[in-house]
Amino acid sequence: MRRRELLGAMGVLGAAAAIGGTSTACAPPAPPLPAPADPLDFLFPPDARRRIVNVRPRNPSAPPVLARRGERSALVVGGGIAGLSSALELAERGYSVVVREADEVLGGRLATRDLDPGLGRTFRVEHGLHMWFDNYRTFADIRHRLGVNDRFRPYQEVDFIFRNYLPERLESTPKLFPFNLAGIIDRSPNLDWPDVFGSLGIFGDLLAFTMRGLYDRLDDVTFLEWIERNRVSPAFRDVVFLPAAHVTLNRVADLSAAEMLLFQHLYFTSQPFAFDREVTTVDHATAVIDPWADRLRSLGVQVRTSAPVPGLRLESGRAVGVVGEPDRYDWVVLATDVGGTQAVLRGSTADTASAPALAALRTAVGPMEVAPPYRILRAWFDHPLAPGRPDVIETPQHDPVALICLFHQLEDESREWAERSGGSVVEFHLYSLDDDLATVDDDAVWPRIRPTVLEVVPELADARLLGSTVGTYRNFTSFAVGQGRQRPDHNGARDAGLVNVGLAGDWIDCAAPSALMERAVLTGRLAANECLVADNVREAGWSHVSPVGPTR
C-alpha cells in the first residue's frame, strides 16, 4: 500500500480509522514477520474479512430428504436461474419436480442459442456478457456442486472510456473500503483528493450502510438527487458513480438511491473482495446451464422447454395445477420475470375460496415495472482490433452504447474463429433505448451505432461486417424510485393467501444484500426452503455478505 493511499484513506475515516474498532497502539512488539501483501492481513485473515453471514437451517434436526422419494411434487414455472435454483434444492431432497420454461432454451438472461450470424455456421450466442462477483455466495455454492468452476477465470480490471475525461482503469485490489477507494483515487488520471473531501457527505450512507429501513429512507429519492444532496464533485460523480448507474440497464434519471446504495455495498464497500469477479471461458450454456439441466435430469426432474404456463388453477387457497391440464402438484414456485409472473397471474383461475388471494397477489405484483428496452448486438468483423485492447470497455458517455465486449478475447469459440480468420468478434450492449432504436430492423442497428463505436475503437473504421446477431429485450428489472418498497418477497404469495406458492427472481425483495444473478438464485433457494420446512425436510443453508457497512 503506497503512503499516499494510506494517508488518504485515513483522512477519509478520520481519527476512528482503526478498522472494526481494533487498535494496535498499545500492543507489545511483535516478532519480525515477512511483510504480507496487504497490511490489513495482520488484523483480518482474508476469509474473515469477507464478513460473510452463514444462515443455518431453521430445522436442523429434520431429516435431510423425504422419507419416500417422489411422495411430494412441485411445479417450477420458469427455467431461468431462479427456477433452476429452486428445482435443484427440491430435487436433491427427493421431490418430484417439473420445470416449465416458455422459451425454447433454459437460462433466462443466461440463455444461449445456436445462431448463424450469416457466416454459414452456427455459434453459441448468449443473452449478453455476465460477470460473477465474490459476494455471489449462493451462486458460488451452486457452481461448486455442479463442478464447473474450471470454466471460469478471474477478471480483475474494468476499463472506462469517456468523452470528457481521460480513460480510467479500476483494478480489483482486495482492500477494505475506503482503502480500495484510496487506490482508485491514487491511480486515477481524473480524480484527486479534493474531489473526495468535497464529497464527504456520501460516506455516512456508504460506511454506515444498513439494509434495515433502506427502502423506507431512500427509495423515493433518485440517485441523482442523493448525489446532489451530498454535494458530490462533478468529477467524482461522472467517473465513479454515473458509470455504475449506467450499467444497471435503467435510465439514470429514474434510479432509486436505495437501489444504488445497495449496489455500492454489494459490489464495492461491503468487504475487501467485493469487487473481485469472474467471467466464463466458454458460453454460458456450456459453462453453467447445460450442466445444471443435466444434474436436474439425473435427479428425475422433468425439464420442459417451449412449455409456457398460461395460468394456475387455484382451489381452496392453493395452486393445484396448470389451467387446462389435469396434473396436480403439492407446491408451485413462480420463478418468472416481472412480465411472465404478471401474465401467469392474469391467466389464472380461482374458485370462490381462492379468488381473494389471487386478487391480492395480482395487486402486489401489478405495480412492478421493467427497465427500458435494450439490445445486444454481436458482430463478426474481418479486421482485428488494436493490440492491447481490454476485454471489456465501459462507455458511460457514449449512449446508447454502454459496453463493448471483445469476445475473441473472452471465450474459446470466438477466439478460435478470430485466430483462423484474422477477424474479431465484438459485442455491443445498448441500454435504455428510446422507441426508435428499440424498434429499428436488426440490420439497421450497426449502421446507427457505428459512428459512436468508432469514437472508442477507431480501427473498426476499416473493418467489414461479416455477420451479426441482435437480441432485443424488454425484460430487465426496474430499479426506478418507488419500486423497491413495493416488491413482494419470496413469501409474497403466501402473504396474499396462497399457502403453497413461492416467488423467486431478481425482482423479488430480499432482506439479505443481493442483486441480479445472486438475487435470482438466492430467492429460488428461499422459495424451495419454505416447501422443505413445511414438509419437515431439513432446509438448505445459505450465506450472504454482512447487511451492514464496515463501520457498523
Find out whether 545 and 267 touch, Cβ atoms under 8 Å. Answer: no
Give the torsion through C-alpha atoms of 352, 353, 356, 358, to 10 deg.
-90
Alpha-carbon span 13 to 11, nearest angstrom: 5
Give 168's strand partners: 160
Residue 336 has pLDDT above 50, yes or no: yes
Please identify which residue in the block is written with the cell numbers 473481485.
276
H/E element, 73:
strand 73-77
Under the banding of pLDDT at 50, 70 and 90, the label for residue 42 is: very low
Residue 166 has pLDDT above 50, yes or no: yes
Domains 73-108+285-370+481-545 and 372-473 share a fold: no
∠ CA 140-45-267, rounded to 5°: 45
In this predicted structure, the answer to whether residue 39 has a pLDDT above a threshold of 60 is no
For residue 206, what pLDDT is reported?
87
pLDDT of residue 325: 98
Q: pLDDT: is 484 or 43 the higher one?
A: 484
Specify the pLDDT at position 164.
96
pLDDT in tens, 355-385: 999 999 999 999 999 999 999 999 999 999 9
Spatial contact of 284 and 82, defined as CB atoms under 8 Å apart = no
Report the C-alpha gap between 26 and 241 in whole angstroms. 39
Average pLDDT for 82-94: 98
Taking a C-beta distance cutoff of 8 angstroms, is the pair 191, 241 a contact?
no
Cell numbers for 309, please give them.
404456463
Q: How confident is the model at residue 14 (pLDDT cuts 50, 70, 90)?
A: very low
Cβ atoms of 505 and 82 within 8 Å: the answer is: yes
Residue 135's pLDDT is what? 96
Summarised one tens digit per residue, pLDDT across range 386-412 is 999 999 999 999 999 999 999 999 999
Give the model's confidence band at 37: pLDDT under 50 very low, under 70 low, under 90 confident, else very high: very low
Confidence at residue 178, expressed as pLDDT on a 0 to 100 scale: 65
- Single-letter amino acid, residue 161: I
**How many angstroms separate the CA atoms of 516 and 247, rounded?**
12
- Count CA atoms closer than 13 A to 303's CA, side-chain side: 26
Helix (H, G, I), strand (E, B) or coil at 47: helix
C-beta separation of 250 from 478 below 8 A: yes
> For the ranges 46-50, 283-287, 405-409, 477-481, which has the lowest average pLDDT?
46-50
Average pLDDT estimate for 131-158: 96
Which of these ranges, 103-112, 190-199, 280-289, 340-349, has the smallest mean pLDDT? 190-199
- 22 pLDDT more than 60: no
Residue 219: name the closest of 276, 274, 257, 272 by CA. 257
In this prediction, residue 84 has a pLDDT band, given cuts at 50, 70 and 90, of very high
Pick from 211, 162, 153, 152: nearest CA to 189: 162
Q: What is the Cβ-side half-sphere exposure of residue 98, based on CA atoms within 13 angstroms?
A: 16
Distance CA 508, CA 490 (A): 7
pLDDT confidence tier of residue 182, bands split at 50, 70 and 90 = confident
Q: Give the model's pLDDT for residue 116.
A: 98
> CA-CA distance, 205 to 201, in Å (whole number)?
8
Give the pLDDT confidence score for residue 29 in this predicted structure: 38
Q: Are 292 and 142 in contact (CB under 8 A)?
A: yes
Q: What is the pLDDT of residue 5?
A: 34
pLDDT > 70? residue 221: yes
Report residue 26's pLDDT band, with 50, 70 and 90 as the boundaries.
very low
- Closest by CA to 198, choosing from 237, 224, 164, 165, is 237
Whether 177 has a pLDDT exceeding 80, the answer reads no
Query: For residue 3, is pLDDT > 70?
Result: no
Per-domain residue ranges for the chain?
Answer: 73-108+285-370+481-545, 157-277, 372-473
Highest mean predicted confidence (pLDDT) among 40-54, 203-217, 438-452: 438-452
> What are the phi and psi torsion angles at 264 (to 5°)?
-60, -40
Would you state the pLDDT for residue 109?
96
Distance of CA 113 to the CA centre of its chain: 21
User: What's the mean per-residue pLDDT of the chain?
Assistant: 90
CATH 3.50.50.60 describes domain 73-108+285-370+481-545:
yes
At residue 20, the pLDDT reads: 28
Given a contact cutoff of 8 angstroms between Cβ atoms, the answer to whether 169 and 187 are in contact is yes
372-473 CATH choice from 3.90.660.10, 3.20.20.370, 2.130.10.10, 3.40.50.300: 3.90.660.10
What pTM was estimated for this model as a whole? 0.91
DSSP 13: H
Q: Which residues neighbour 234 within 8 Å (Cβ) at sequence distance 6 or greater?
A: none
Q: Is residue 28 scored above 60 in pLDDT?
A: no
- pLDDT of 200 reads 72
**433 SS3 class:** coil
Contact 319, 355 (CB under 8 A): no
Q: 391: which DSSP letter?
A: S
pLDDT of residue 67: 95
Q: Give the span between the Cα atoms of 240 and 230, in whole angstroms.
A: 15
Residues whose CB falls within 8 Å of the CB of residue 11, separated by 6 or more in sequence, listed in order: 193, 197
pLDDT at 2 over 80: no
pLDDT (0 to 100) of residue 48: 62
Nearest to 207 by CA among 277, 135, 268, 255: 268
Residue 16 has pLDDT above 80, yes or no: no
Do the Cβ atoms of 501 and 334 come closer than 8 Å?
yes
Higher pLDDT, 380 or 27: 380
- Assign 65 a pLDDT band (cuts: 50, 70, 90): very high
Buried/exposed 237-273: b ≥16 CB within 10 Å, e otherwise? bbbbbbbbbbbbbbbbebbbbbbbbbbbbbbbbbbbb
**HEC secondary structure over 151-187:** HEEECCEEEECCCCCCCEEEECCCCCCCHHHHHHHHH
Residues 303, 304, 308, 312, Cα dihedral to 10°: -50
**pLDDT band for position 104 (cuts 50, 70, 90):** very high
Where is average pLDDT lowest: 186-195, 222-231, 252-261?
A: 186-195
Q: If pLDDT is split at 50, 70 and 90, which confidence band does 25 have? A: very low
pLDDT value, residue 27 = 35
Q: Is the pLDDT of residue 504 over 60?
A: yes
Q: In the prediction, which pLDDT does 204 show?
A: 82
pLDDT band at 192 (very low <50, low <70, confident <90, very high): confident
